[in-house]
């Protein structure tokens, strides 16, 4: 994992105004408190005028509420409701957000990462991190993109695909990477074979030399991009607590699995 201040891959062909609206709501979800214009300008690196105009527009549309005395904005219930039906259809058995919060607590405060495939990247769509992680050099900003082959969450997603699909995706990933960062296809295919056999992926130091991630597949409806769930922390912690973290991940996802699903919690390092 890496600092939110580090450069990340940008999605091409995205209208800036649409991107900013979504980034704004993701930042509210990350902070979980009312925010001022200054907070958003600093947190999202927007021009003051653009941030003010965006906030005023969303307030007029009923997605934000503005406290004139405290000069703070906060999302209204409308934000929670307009996408609630999607969550209810996909995850009616339990709240996914609550599940991730419980997993974060059960792991002793380690980072919990939910990622989905976004073209040749994995995108971290929901995360819970402790206060110490939020100010550390390995903080991950929600919405961050990583090449599929370079993260445990991404490798889990790749393991669901055929070797032909993997090779096609890796060719595109390597085309955008520096020569020193390109991954040999045979190395990746061997790694994915291990993940399929063990039931989980593990990466150590792929972005930060002190940090690793354990990840397993998240059962996902066919109408949605594939997702995976991971626990991230310092390498020594992941090594010492591997079996317990894998048990926590599998237990957390049990409600989303069909009755016929089997759990594979052991295996060699991925």
Q: Domain of 42: which CATH number?
A: 1.10.10.10
Place of tokens 């993701």: 26
- Residue 33 Cα distances to 74, 158, 264, angstroms: 7, 36, 39
Nearest CA among 121, 124, 118, 116 for reference residue 142: 124
What's the CA dihedral at 206, 3, 123, 94 to 10 degrees?
A: 110
Q: Can you give the pLDDT at residue 13?
A: 60
pLDDT tens per residue across span 135-169: 455 667 777 889 999 999 999 999 999 999 999 99
**Residue 139 sits in the same domain as residue 205:** yes
Lowest mean pLDDT across 7-11, 12-16, 247-251, 255-259 = 7-11
**Residue 70 sits in the same domain as residue 107:** no
**Residue 26 sits in the same domain as residue 72:** yes
Question: For residues 63 and 67, what is the distance between their CA atoms, to the nearest angstrom?
Answer: 14
- State which of 56, 82, 108 marks the end of a domain: 82
Question: For residues 154 and 116, what is the distance between their CA atoms, to the nearest angstrom?
Answer: 8
Mean pLDDT computed over 191-195: 97
Q: Which domain holds residue 61?
A: 16-82
Extract the tokens encoding 8: 């990340």
DSSP for 168-195 reads HHHHHHHHHS-GGGPPPHHHHHHHHHHH
Q: Can you give the pLDDT at residue 85?
A: 66
Nearest CA among 226, 205, 203, 204 for reference residue 123: 226
For residue 82, pLDDT over 80 is answered with no
Do 252 and 103 meet the contact criterion of CB atoms below 8 Å apart?
A: yes
Extract the tokens encoding 263: 């759990």
Q: Can you give the pLDDT at residue 118?
A: 83
- State which of 26, 53, 82 marks the end of a domain: 82
What's the CA dihedral at 116, 118, 121, 127 to 10 degrees?
A: -40
The alpha-carbon radius of gyration of the chain (Å, integer) is 19
**Residue 141 sits in the same domain as residue 69:** no
**Residue 35 sits in the same domain as residue 164:** no
**Residue 165 sits in the same domain as residue 134:** yes
In a domain, 10, yes or no: no
**Residue 248 sits in the same domain as residue 150:** yes
Mean pLDDT of the chain: 82
For residue 193, pLDDT over 70 is answered with yes
In a domain, 205, yes or no: yes
Q: Around 189, how many Cα atoms within 13 Å sit in the side-chain half-sphere?
A: 12
Structural domains in the chain (count): 2
Q: Can you give the pLDDT at residue 223?
A: 66
Q: Can you give the pLDDT at residue 268?
A: 33
Phi first, then psi, for residue 64 (nearest 5°) are -130, 150
């Amino acid at each position: 994992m890496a600092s939110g201040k580090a450069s990340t891959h940008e999605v091409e062909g995205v209208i800036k105004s649409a991107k900013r609206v979504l980034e704004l709501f993701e930042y509210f979800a990350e902070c979980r408190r009312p925010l001022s214009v200054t907070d958003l300008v600093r947190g999202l690196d927007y021009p003051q005028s653009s941030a003010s105009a965006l906030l005023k527009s969303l307030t007029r549309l009923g997605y934000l509420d503005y406290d004139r005395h405290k000069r703070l904005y906060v999302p209204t219930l409308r934000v929670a409701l307009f996408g609630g039906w999607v969550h209810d259809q996909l995850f009616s058995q339990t709240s996914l957000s609550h599940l991730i919060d419980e997993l974060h607590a059960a792991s002793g405060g380690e980072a919990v990462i939910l990622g989905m495939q976004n073209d040749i990247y994995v995108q971290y769509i929901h995360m819970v991190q402790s206060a110490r992680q939020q100010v550390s050099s390995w903080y991950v900003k929600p919405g961050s993109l990583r090449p599929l082959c370079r993260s445990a969450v991404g490798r889990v997603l790749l393991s669901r695909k055929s070797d032909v699909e993997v090779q096609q995706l890796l060719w595109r990933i390597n085309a955008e990477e520096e020569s020193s960062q390109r991954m040999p296809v045979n190395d990746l295919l061997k790694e994915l074979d291990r993940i399929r056999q063990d039931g989980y992926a593990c990466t150590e130091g792929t972005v930060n030399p002190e940090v690793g991630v354990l990840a397993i597949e998240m059962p996902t409806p066919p109408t949605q991009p594939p997702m995976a769930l991971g626990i991230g922390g310092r390498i020594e912690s992941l090594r010492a607590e591997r079996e317990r973290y894998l048990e926590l991940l599998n237990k957390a996802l049990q409600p989303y699995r069909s009755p016929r699903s089997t759990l594979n919690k052991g295996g060699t390092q991925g």
